[in-house]
Amino acid sequence: MKTVLAIDTSTAQTSVALIQDGEVLFNKSHNDPLAHGEVLPKLVAQALAVNKQIDLIAVGMGPGPFTGLRVGIAFAQSYALAAQIDWVGVCSLDAMAAGINQSEFIVSTDARRKERFWARYKDGVRITQPAVSKASELEKFGLPILNEGDYFPDPVALAKIALTSKSVEQPIYIRKPDAYPLPTGVKFRPMTALDLVSAIAIEKEVYGKTAWSADQFKSEFAKSPKTAHYLAAGIEGQLIAYAGIFYVADVADIHTITVVTDHRRKGIGRELLKRLIDWARVKKAQAIMLEMRLGNDAARPLYESFGFIEISKRENYYGPGLTAVVMRKELR
């Protein structure tokens, strides 16, 4: 008898299955694109409670967003090494297509940035390499498109494929990762009044007439650490970014995430946002709110990648003619 533990974190869903000689002993999934690292060990523990004797690990190798995909792959490889068993990589799209009874079709998963990971299948066999394209480009094929949400990689199918196919040894990233290594030397720490001179200078450079004053910062610092949390990022003692969040009545509100121009698009804002979300979870907030200036096309994809959705707009929020987009992320 061969028992296979199957894992996939290539989509918004974390999936784990346990099969033994074709019999499904465990099959469970959890849908949350930001909870792979938290949920996966719990699902595996539940599976091992059914049967601890694992002979092989099958893991979905993508394509998928880098941050989520690496959780499953790293877990599978580490477990296999510790247990001294083999692991087999499987194209996650193949596990998604396995149960679809159509002659020719495309399976598609969310690649973020308004793009889709996809592959084309005929009679159950993949006939193209996994690729990434705009959703509108897939429609040109004139084939049924089966999207993530209605379908997900099936961990049971993944386990069965692993028993009969050659292993995919490398993650199928296709494009650059959506989580970049931070620049060398960046250090994160609590923001204090000692940062005010630098912060005010950055505020004026970035926000102009709508910049915060020193008194506004001091007012927020006074709430810390009980109901507010402010972070600073610096290189060699120089302030290059800061962020702040406030918590009241079960809802946290992100007040600012600001990065100086020369250090943008380097993962610093993403790391600050992640740490603010972690703080809100510790405070047991049920949701997080934020306001973003309408037309801030650089920030919006970042917030959406963390699960924030637009719920309303506030006209003249930042001043005459300056509209704010209000976004919310549920934590429960």
Catalytic residues: 291, 303
CA distance 22 to 19: 6
Packing angle, helices 36-50 and 66-83, rounded to 10: 40
**Three-class secondary structure of residue 116 per DSSP:** strand
CA distance 60 to 58: 7
Q: Residue 88: count other Cβ atoms within 10 Å of its Cβ.
A: 24
CA distances in angstroms from 250 to 115, 123, 130, listed in the order given = 34, 51, 42
Q: Of the candidates 103, 116, 107, 115, which has an alpha carbon nearest to the alpha carbon of residue 157?
A: 107
Is the separation of the CB atoms in 269 and 241 below 8 Å? yes
β-bridge pairing 322-330 and 309-319? antiparallel
What are the strands, taking DSSP E only, across 249-286? 251-259
Instruction: Give me the half-sphere count of Cα atoms (radius 13 Å) on the Cβ side of residue 129.
Output: 5
Phi-psi region of 10 (alpha: psi -120 to 50; beta: other; left: phi over 0): alpha
Phi-psi region of 55 (alpha: psi -120 to 50; beta: other; left: phi over 0): alpha
**Three-class secondary structure of residue 33 per DSSP:** coil
